[in-house]
Structure 1
């Protein structure tokens, strides 16, 4: 990927400032857009894979390549290194990055709640997060959003991060293995992993953030979670492509809310089912409300995310964060009929 000098980027920004609409990318702009996903089979990232399966990126004349890393923080690092052009990851990373002097901007939002669940192993004596002292808690990766949220809900229960151990165990099968091998007492993961653990009886739910009600209880407000974010400099010089990506996601959100869980599951790769399609469909039905209706950032969401991160991270608390630089709804156009 070629990066333009800052002076030229500024000129491009001025040129685009007066534009009201952004036209679709043309066939001449056929450079592949690589999107790194922090665990592509997770429900929290389902919209980006579903958009690809439905052909919505192709409808926007975009050549999109989906890649996967086990953790959102790994995906973020790939973006910063210039190895990919976009990340399907957690919105809170854009705030964290700004506190470190880097800029990334969310252009479409998948979830209005985290969709994350703190599960506790059946072999652990933990009954609630206040029991986390001296225990080992699993997260996808150190510095990941599951790490952020774990620290926050533990702190709310009076337990600081110095009072428990954090172990990066990834997601899906590696997370399940960490539970079964008793390497963690509890951990944060998503669907369909949660349902697989519950069905086998290997774990139970400790904190549930798959619904608005559960999220309000755990985090004190709405918490926009995963979405599509890009490097701010790339965005300035690739607005037609960014607009195409956002439109494809917005159209996918409309599809999700106008089709059944069975129909959505039928569109997904069969290896995502974990060998149990009925369980996959059941888990999807229970989490449909976590998806945004149109891909727009929920009102008041960024403010609550900043509040949560500021509570656990002194570096963010000491910075003047400009939330307007962390997301935009400008590329979300009226959705087409699914």
Structure 2
């Protein structure tokens, strides 16, 4: 899609009276919490915001960025945000904790998280078992990057306590920590990963940007980023949730047809981390791992449960209603609107 077409489309939408869209929305002013907004993991959220898709649906959203997904979730639990743009597996964990959350539109068909080691501090690295006693950088403790690292450790018999997890965020701070040798390994996402890989400061151990590898790692389809919220918010605001889903599905579909040049023109300059070529490489690596239509795979919740259960004995024993952690009803309706 040409930039002028995007602008023309935006102007056309702007000429329509906003109140006609807003009618029927229970909460047109809402807040979305996200952990690392610049990541490709959340690219559909940025596209929906930057291209005015939320406004087209009559929404006036505030998007608050945090250092990691666990902190974004804490904002919703604490009542300062309504919806999380975060990792799908948190919905499983929250049901286990007795605070039911439900995902309603998918952003990532795979986690897109990469586990890599620092060749400067671990020049003789041979396998994940070598990480015992080492410092592993994650976006934030308890975030999806932490879960991915825990899962990889569990596969070789290591427990979370066998390493030290360090919150490094998802931007320039993460890059600096790796280059300074403050961490021995990292579980993070693009564009951070591509930047470090290109400069030789990171060697990949496991790459879930590749959908087939993600399924191999987790033993099934593992949903990545999504929008989720307390079940009570969905019950009280179904039209608002549908409007959010419409905007996100529209963004998902735009991304699938977009080229790197289109993305560069839309995202904020700060997302590029000072290097457009690396951002383009990161987008090309992530594009196939983004959801084409916002719907969740049927086995996704089961895969997420097994990943969490591998490092949490209490959760492993729990009998959860995994059908209650997501719904495709809103995304299916959005796909009828945006074919």
Per-residue Cα deviation, 1:242-267 (whole angstroms, up to 9, x for no partner): 00001111111111112212212211
- Residues in 2 aligned to 1:244 and 1:24: alpha-carbon distance in whole angstroms: 9
- Residues in 1 aligned to 2:79 and 2:213: alpha-carbon distance in whole angstroms: 37
Aligned twin of 1:100: 97
- Residues in 2 aligned to 1:272 and 1:153: alpha-carbon distance in whole angstroms: 28
The 1:335/1:291 distance shift into structure 2, 3 A limit, reads farther
1:128 aligns with 2:133: no
- Residues in 2 aligned to 1:93 and 1:139: alpha-carbon distance in whole angstroms: 16
- Residues in 2 aligned to 1:337 and 1:329: alpha-carbon distance in whole angstroms: 15
Aligned twin of 1:4: none
- Residues in 2 aligned to 1:176 and 1:169: alpha-carbon distance in whole angstroms: 9
- Residues in 2 aligned to 1:236 and 1:33: alpha-carbon distance in whole angstroms: 15
- Residues in 1 aligned to 2:298 and 2:28: alpha-carbon distance in whole angstroms: 34
Cα drift, residue 169 of structure 1: 1.8
- Residues in 2 aligned to 1:158 and 1:138: alpha-carbon distance in whole angstroms: 20
SS at match of 2:178: helix
- Residues in 2 aligned to 1:337 and 1:322: alpha-carbon distance in whole angstroms: 31
| Contact 1:109–1:296 (8 Å) recurs in 2 | yes
- Residues in 2 aligned to 1:36 and 1:331: alpha-carbon distance in whole angstroms: 20
The 1:294/1:24 distance shift into structure 2, 3 A limit, reads farther
Cα drift, residue 214 of structure 1: 1.7
- Residues in 1 aligned to 2:89 and 2:184: alpha-carbon distance in whole angstroms: 26
Gaps of 5+ in 2: 1-19
Query: After the TM superposition, which residues 41-60 of structure 1 pair with which residues of structure 2 at under 5 Å, given as runs?
Result: 41-60=38-57
- Residues in 1 aligned to 2:181 and 2:101: alpha-carbon distance in whole angstroms: 37
Per-residue Cα deviation, 1:78-132 (whole angstroms, up to 9, x for no partner): 0001101111000100110111100111010111111000121121223321211
- Residues in 2 aligned to 1:29 and 1:111: alpha-carbon distance in whole angstroms: 27
- Residues in 1 aligned to 2:81 and 2:338: alpha-carbon distance in whole angstroms: 30
Q: Kindly tell me the number of residue pairs found equivalent between the two proteins.
A: 316
1:231 aligns with 2:227: no
Could you tell me which of 35, 38, 42 is aligned with 2:35?
A: 38
Aligned twin of 1:10: none
Large movers: runs of 4+ above 3 Å: 27-31, 335-338
| Contact 1:302–1:323 (8 Å) recurs in 2 | yes
- Residues in 1 aligned to 2:38 and 2:327: alpha-carbon distance in whole angstroms: 26
SS at match of 1:188: strand
SS at match of 1:250: helix
Aligned twin of 1:150: 149
- Residues in 2 aligned to 1:218 and 1:27: alpha-carbon distance in whole angstroms: 43
User: If the length of structure 2 is used for normalisation, what is the TM-score?
Assistant: 0.89
| Contact 2:86–2:225 (8 Å) recurs in 1 | yes
User: If the length of structure 1 is used for normalisation, what is the TM-score?
Assistant: 0.89
CA RMSD between the two structures: 1.7
Aligned twin of 1:207: 206
Cα drift, residue 335 of structure 1: 5.2
Cα drift, residue 336 of structure 1: 4.5
Per-residue Cα deviation, 1:197-252 (whole angstroms, up to 9, x for no partner): 11222111111110112212322222101100111111111111000001111111
Could you tell me which of 63, 68, 72 is aligned with 2:69?
A: 72
- Residues in 1 aligned to 2:323 and 2:303: alpha-carbon distance in whole angstroms: 14
Aligned twin of 1:15: none
| Contact 1:134–1:165 (8 Å) recurs in 2 | yes
| Contact 1:86–1:228 (8 Å) recurs in 2 | yes
Aligned twin of 1:282: 281
Per-residue Cα deviation, 1:167-201 (whole angstroms, up to 9, x for no partner): 22222111112112212110101000011111222
Cα drift, residue 30 of structure 1: 5.9
The 1:274/1:148 distance shift into structure 2, 3 A limit, reads same
- Residues in 2 aligned to 1:26 and 1:278: alpha-carbon distance in whole angstroms: 43
Query: After the TM superposition, which residues 317-328 of structure 1 pair with which residues of structure 2 at under 5 Å, given as runs?
Result: 317-328=316-327
